[in-house]
């Protein structure tokens, strides 16, 4: 762990995440009880671990697709302008769709993605975010299901990165700068 000007303090354990996913899946199963097949849309790249655990816990027929959106330009500040870098492979018109996001922060990404997908006329569009930082919100948006509400801390792990590092941590940790 040398060469990094920060350390990662554990915030949410792998066990806590697994327990929360179990509870959320029972609610999602109830919501989509009548579905023939649910399209689970993961927002790349941060949701890849979450979506993997989520679909394995869900007792429903699912299809998995991915969308990559970027709200950051070359600067460190969010540009507030969301670009679609990779679109879905499949159509969602008339389908049951669940959007899976890692974190809702300012809200720009989720709001844009939900608007875009809604315009494609799905039968039912729902969303889930593993983490939510409500104190950071700049545009009104809320996922139908949230794993954990967290304070305004920069977090990594369980798919979530800091400059492309730490995605492989099995837990959620908060970044503490040391210099
Ligand atoms: P929003 O458009 O500001 O809501 O941005 C949400 C996106 O910003 C998330 O999908 C993450 O990719 C990124 N993000 C927000 N907070 C964090 C964090 O604490 N750690 C790592 N990425 C974050
Ligand atoms: Mg993201």
pLDDT digits (tens, 9 = 90+) for 108-134: 999 999 999 999 999 999 999 999 999
More confident residue, 1 or 101: 101
Enclosing domain of residue 170: 6-177
Would you say the CB of residue 71 lies under 6 angstroms from ligand 1? yes
Q: How confident is the model at residue 78 (pLDDT cuts 50, 70, 90)?
A: low
The ligand that comes nearest to the alpha carbon of residue 129 is 1
Residue 121 gets which letter from DSSP? Answer: -
Tokens of 56: 């394995």
Q: Is residue 159 part of a domain?
A: yes
CA angle 121, 123, 124 (to 5 degrees): 110
pLDDT digits 0-9 by tens, 55-65: 999 999 999 99
> pLDDT at position 156, please?
97
**Residue 46: CATH number of its domain:** 3.40.50.2020
Answer whether 99's CB lies under 8 Å from 125's CB.
Answer: yes
Q: Is residue 92 part of a domain?
A: yes
For residue 51, CA distances in Å to 33, 41, 135 come to 19, 8, 25
Q: Is residue 21 part of a domain?
A: yes
> Which residue is listed with tokens 């350390």?
7
Query: Average pLDDT, stretch 41-59?
Result: 98
Q: Is residue 1 part of a domain?
A: no
- Closest listed residue to residue 105, CA positions, set 74, 146, 68: 146
> pLDDT at position 73, please?
52
Which ligand 1 atom is nearest residue 107's CA? 4
Taking the alpha carbons of 45, 51, 53, 56 in that order, is the dihedral positive or negative?
negative
Q: Is residue 73 part of a domain?
A: yes
**Dist CA 9 CA 171 (whole Å):** 10
> pLDDT at position 70, please?
86
Cα Rg for the chain, rounded, in angstroms? Answer: 16
Across the chain, mean pLDDT equals 94
More confident residue, 75 or 101: 101
Taking the alpha carbons of 46, 108, 105, 78 in that order, is the dihedral positive or negative?
positive
Pocket probe for ligand 1: among 49, 67, 105, 156, the residue whose CB has the most ligand atoms within 8 Å is 105
Residue 136 gets which letter from DSSP? Answer: G
Q: Is residue 167 part of a domain?
A: yes
Would you say the CB of residue 108 lies under 6 angstroms from ligand 1? yes
C-alpha 2 to ligand 2 mean position (Å): 26
C-alpha 103 to ligand 2 mean position (Å): 7
**Dist CA 104 CA 14 (whole Å):** 20
The question of whether 105 is a catalytic residue gets the answer yes
How many domains does the chain fold into? 1
pLDDT digits 0-9 by tens, 80-107: 789 999 999 999 999 999 999 999 999 9
> pLDDT at position 76, please?
46
State the alpha helices, DSSP H only, in the chain. 14-31, 48-57, 108-118
pLDDT digits 0-9 by tens, 148-173: 999 999 999 999 999 999 999 999 99
Q: Which of 53, 102, 105, 132 is catalytic?
A: 105
> pLDDT at position 4, please?
78
Q: Residue 79 pLDDT > 70, yes or no?
A: no
Q: Residue 13 pLDDT > 80, yes or no?
A: yes
């Amino acid at each position: 762990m040398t060469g990094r000007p920060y350390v990662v303090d554990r915030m949410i354990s792998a066990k806590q995440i697994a327990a929360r996913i179990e509870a959320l899946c029972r609610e999602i199963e109830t919501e989509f009880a009548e579905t023939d097949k649910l399209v689970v849309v993961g927002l790349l790249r941060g949701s890849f671990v979450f979506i993997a655990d989520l679909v394995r816990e869900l007792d429903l027929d699912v299809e998995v697709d991915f969308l990559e959106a970027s709200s950051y330009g070359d600067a460190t500040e969010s540009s507030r302008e969301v670009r679609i870098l990779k679109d879905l492979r499949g159509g969602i018109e008339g389908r049951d769709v669940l959007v899976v996001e890692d974190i809702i922060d300012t809200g720009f990404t989720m709001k844009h993605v939900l608007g875009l997908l809604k315009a494609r006329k799905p039968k039912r569009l729902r969303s889930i975010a593993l983490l939510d930082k409500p104190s950071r919100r700049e545009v009104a948006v809320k996922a139908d299901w949230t794993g954990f509400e967290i304070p305004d801390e920069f977090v990594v792990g369980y798919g979530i990165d800091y400059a492309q590092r730490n995605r492989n941590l099995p837990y959620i940790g908060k970044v503490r700068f040391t210099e």
